[in-house]
Amino acid sequence: MPQNDVDHRQHRQRLKERFLQEGLDSFDPVNILELMLFYAIPQGDTNPTAHRLLDTFGSLSGVMNASVENLCQVKGVGQHAATLIKLFAAVVRPYLDDANRGGVVLQSTDEICRYLLPKFAGRTVETFYLVCLDGRRRVNYCGILSEGTLDSVPVFVRQIVEKVLAVHASFVIMAHNHPSGFALPSRADIDTTREVIRALGPLSVSVVDHIVVSGEDCVSFRDSGFLNR
């Protein structure tokens, strides 16, 4: 076996052992991508490919959020590697949903943002989530009500009312993302929130917050004063 192949195999083994002993906290983004690519590219050096991915998309999150088509345009990345990258990004959401089963309580803005941010990981179009809470502020429903385009998402007030009645919610939290911009509420976001508040008022259901997410940024309507305007 050529010496280069031996060196690559030893490097792969060292990196795997390091992960098993330390986890990912001490890994830099290129090492994380290297390790991921081991399982789609069974032989050779994945370090140059990892560097090309980061150079192309700017960050680890940029790589994870890239489309399969764009990933495949990077030298060294084929369909298998692109699919694996998208799988890593997507599996975070169902994992956290499963871990949060049992009625997680959402009181503060920090708790709400920590709960919601992972749900938008890897989403490249605007997505609208509704979170329903019981009288103790425990989550009894969280799901996507609609998906849109890069810069808009339809919100149907009737659909929100129907879901609130179905799960007997006492409070609701709305959330959507701005994948192509900043986490700042638009005029349409504010108007929609007011419509929902008006519709839920006669049902004695309160809107706790409307969260706008962009990347790792999270803006609260409540903290920004938009709920009271």
| 3 state SS of 105 | strand
Which percentage of the chain shows pLDDT scores above 70? 93
Q: Which residue has the tokens 């949903």?
A: 97
Q: Is the pLDDT of residue 155 over 50?
A: yes
Amino acid 102: pLDDT: 58
Amino acid 142: pLDDT: 92
Amino acid 162: pLDDT: 95
Tell me the mean pLDDT in the region 207-220.
92
Q: Which residues contact 107 (CB under 8 A, 6 or more apart)?
A: 137
Amino acid 110: pLDDT: 94
- pLDDT tens for 158-205 read 999 999 999 999 999 999 999 887 888 888 899 999 999 999 999 999
Q: Phi and psi at residue 200, in whole multiples of 5°?
A: -90, -20
Tell me the mean pLDDT in the region 123-149.
91
* Domain boundaries of the chain, sorted by first residue: 3-95, 102-228
Which percentage of the chain shows pLDDT scores above 90? 59
Per CATH, the homologous superfamily of domain 3-95 is 5' to 3' exonuclease, C-terminal subdomain (1.10.150.20)
Edge to edge, what strands does the sheet with 206-214 contain? 139-147, 127-133, 171-177, 206-214, 217-220
Amino acid 125: pLDDT: 87
Alpha-carbon gap, residue 144 to 128, rounded angstroms = 6
Give pTM, 2 decimals.
0.65
Q: At 25, which helix (H) or strand (E)?
A: none
Q: What is the DSSP letter of 17?
A: H
Tell me the mean pLDDT in the region 131-138.
94
Q: Which residue has the tokens 């030893």?
A: 10
Alpha-carbon gap, residue 84 to 225, rounded angstroms = 42
Structure tokens at 229: 């305007």
Structure tokens at 165: 């009645």
Amino acid 100: pLDDT: 62
CATH architecture of 102-228: 3-Layer(aba) Sandwich (3.40)
Tell me the mean pLDDT in the region 28-44.
92
Tell me the CB-side half-sphere exposure of residue 4, using CA atoms within 13 A. Answer: 4
**Same fold: 3-95 with 102-228:** no
Alpha-carbon gap, residue 35 to 46, rounded angstroms = 8
Q: How confident is the model at residue 1 (pLDDT cuts 50, 70, 90)?
A: very low
How many Cβ atoms sit within 10 Å of the Cβ of residue 152?
13
Q: How confident is the model at residue 26 (pLDDT cuts 50, 70, 90)?
A: confident
Is the sign of the CA dihedral 20, 54, 51, 49 positive or negative? positive
| Amino acid, res. 29 | P
- pLDDT tens for 41-93 read 988 899 999 999 999 999 998 898 888 999 999 999 999 999 999 998 788 77
Structure tokens at 8: 């690559």
Q: Poorest-confidence range of 6-15, 65-74, 139-148, 208-217?
A: 6-15
Greater pLDDT, 68 or 99:
68
Tell me the mean pLDDT in the region 142-156.
85
215 backbone φψ class: left, alpha, beta (φ>0; ψ -120 to 50) = left
Q: Which residue has the tokens 């929100």?
A: 160
* Average confidence score pLDDT of the chain: 89
Q: What is the DSSP letter of 228?
A: G
